[in-house]
Amino acid sequence: MDPDALVDPTAAPGPAAARGAARAPALGSLAGRKLALVRNAWPSWHRMTDRLEFLLTERAEGVATTQYLVPNGSAADPALLAEIAGSADAAVVGLANCGSCTAWSYHDAACLSQLGLPVALVVSSQFTGLVEALAAARAVAIPTVVLDVNPETVDAESALRLLDAAYDRIVAALLTPAENGEPAPAEVTTFRAVVSSGDEDAALQACHDLGWTDGLPVVLPTARRVDALLAALGDPDAVVAAMPPTGFGVTNRALAANAVMAGCAPAHLPVLTAMVRAVCAQGFNLNGIATTTGPSTPFAVVSGPAAGQAGLNAGRGALGPGWRANASIGRALRLLIANVGGARPGEVAKSSMGQPGRYTMCIAENEADSPWEPLHVTLGVPAGESAVTVLGATGTINVLTPRSDVEAMLTLFGDSLAYLGNPNVVMGSGTVAVLVSPGHARAMSRAGLSKSDAAAEIWARSSIPLGRFPESAYPDPPYEFIERDGRIYPVAGPAQVYLIVVGGPEPTHATVIPSHPSCRPVTERIPV
């Protein structure tokens, strides 16, 4: 291979699930059929589903309908999907009208289609491009019915009129067999740039034009540079993990190419590889985080000897800028999510505003200056080993505390989580992080608090009186408040408050990180 050729950072094996996918048969007629109406948490779709149920039973002879409730931003229970496929003749799935709910509605519809069920997916016009991108990547086409207006943006009567206007198209979609495309190729290919990497300006422009970058300049992924990192990874075609939302395989070659572009060194690769495995774990919900209209992003915390070996900063300024390992490792993950996972901003990544953490968000834990055990030990990894824990962060909140008043510290930490618009509060789920300085940790430890004691105190002080919530801000089923004695909490309990020691020594500034509500943190060991 020409050592100056650019290695394509998007080349990856297609998802195994797409190969040989079943094609749903034509329904033929609605008469006497059993129809599943799958509705997520959007209130407008609840009313529209009721209306659809009425129209179906009124206009189709002998039709029987059953409604099923699923979450917005995470997958339906596989057992529920199997139950639907086993008991119904066809299904209508909705509503795809935000990033993560579109990704998961498509996922649920595709699962039902692959189980042999004719499916119609109802999607708002702003999110048809996301459905098309996912269908192209996974080679599972789902008949869609497009609403010109997002029903959540209009009054109830207008939303019902949208359903009336879409009724005939929904029925037609159920009577149309899904025409799945050819599965993505299993081979990994290599892109050879039209221009030589010797012309760096033209080659860099090509990287931008091809959509390979995060908007910032990258190190050119020449074959020579990629091969240098591959020497530390092994078999170029070995698959590290299948990356949502496309489900394409992250090969060592793709990992190396994106790591080169982000500026990684060989010493960074063990951490990056573990991070990839962690975010691709099903419970982490990268499918939702990568496509959401919210600002969510993976946030990685590395602890154990691997952090020092990679050169990660755990002290002053750990959240950046200024530290190659922190910036490059986190950035390489973001590039992989776009280039292999397919979550390019505006196309598949639908975040309304984004956030700076979507460029990179990776730190090490300051174990040397902490009086407590590190995070990975708290989460069950033996002391002396290394691990990375990934959370779904919606942003950062600075908390300024008194220097020595521990009671005040705990109150301010808890109160910083207790705000009405916190997605954890509104959806009643998730795991939050509280980043405290070594000075904070020592002050709490001197007051006799273990890490679990401090987390419990912070959680206890994080509640909001139920009466403060406007009625329209109540969760939509199946979501519900976490309520205790008339007070609402952001997470289920102290175990969902991750207390992490990081940064400089002063017991003044701390950082609170709310989380993507449907994300479960994942911890992955790092071999050293």
pLDDT per position as a tens digit, 492-520:
999 999 999 999 999 999 999 999 999 99
188 has pLDDT over 50: no
Number of other CB atoms surrounding residue 449 within 10 Å: 19
**Both tokens of residue 137?**
């990547």
Beta bridge pairs of residue 489: 482
273 has pLDDT over 70: yes
Give 240's pLDDT tier (boundaries 50, 70, 90). very high
**If you classify domain 20-174 with CATH, what class do you get?**
alpha beta
pLDDT at 493: 98
Q: Specify the pairing of strand 482-484 against strand 487-489.
A: antiparallel
Instruction: Kindly state the average pLDDT of the residues 355-363.
Output: 97
- pLDDT tens profile 408-454: 999 999 999 999 999 999 999 999 999 999 999 999 999 999 999 99
380 has pLDDT over 80: yes
CB 414 within 8 A of CB 459: yes
The overall average pLDDT reported for the chain is: 92
CB 261 within 8 A of CB 325: no
**Which of 95, 145, 119 shows the shortest CA–CA distance to 36?**
119
Instruction: Determine the Cα–Cα distance for residues 144 and 119; give it in Å rounded to an integer.
Output: 9
Determine which of 46-50, 172-176, 403-407, 423-427 has the lowest per-residue pLDDT on average: 172-176
Phi, psi for residue 230 in degrees, rounded to 5? -60, -30
Separation in Å, CA 277 to CA 213, 336, 389, 498: 22, 12, 11, 21
pLDDT at 190: 45
Instruction: Kindly state the average pLDDT of the residues 35-44.
Output: 95
Q: What percent of the chain has pLDDT over 90?
A: 85
21 has pLDDT over 80: no
Determine which of 102-106, 140-144, 182-186 has the lowest per-residue pLDDT on average: 182-186
Torsion 68-59-141-116 (CA) sign:
positive
Instruction: Determine the Cα–Cα distance for residues 221 and 307; give it in Å rounded to an integer.
Output: 25
- What DSSP element (H or E) covers 229? helix 223-230
- pLDDT tens profile 83-117: 999 999 999 999 999 999 999 999 999 999 989 99
Instruction: Kindly state the average pLDDT of the residues 383-400.
Output: 97
* DSSP code, position 403: S
Beta bridge pairs of residue 119: 91
Q: What is the pTM of this model?
A: 0.92
pLDDT at 165: 97
CB 524 within 8 A of CB 388: yes
Instruction: Determine the Cα–Cα distance for residues 51 and 47; give it in Å rounded to an integer.
Output: 6
Separation in Å, CA 485 to CA 180, 431, 465: 52, 21, 9
pLDDT at 205: 95
pLDDT at 193: 45
Give 1's pLDDT tier (boundaries 50, 70, 90). low
pLDDT at 477: 86
Rg, the chain, Cα only = 24
Instruction: Determine the Cα–Cα distance for residues 63 and 326; give it in Å rounded to an integer.
Output: 58
Q: Residue ranges per domain, the chain?
A: 20-174, 393-528
- pLDDT tens profile 464-493: 999 999 999 999 888 999 999 999 999 999
pLDDT at 347: 83
366 has pLDDT over 80: yes
**Which of 443, 430, 358 shows the shortest CA–CA distance to 402?**
443
Phi, psi for residue 76 in degrees, rounded to 5? -70, 155
pLDDT at 180: 52
Q: In what order do the strands lie in the sheet with 464-465?
A: 464-465, 487-489, 482-484
377 has pLDDT over 80: yes
**Both tokens of residue 96?**
């795809």
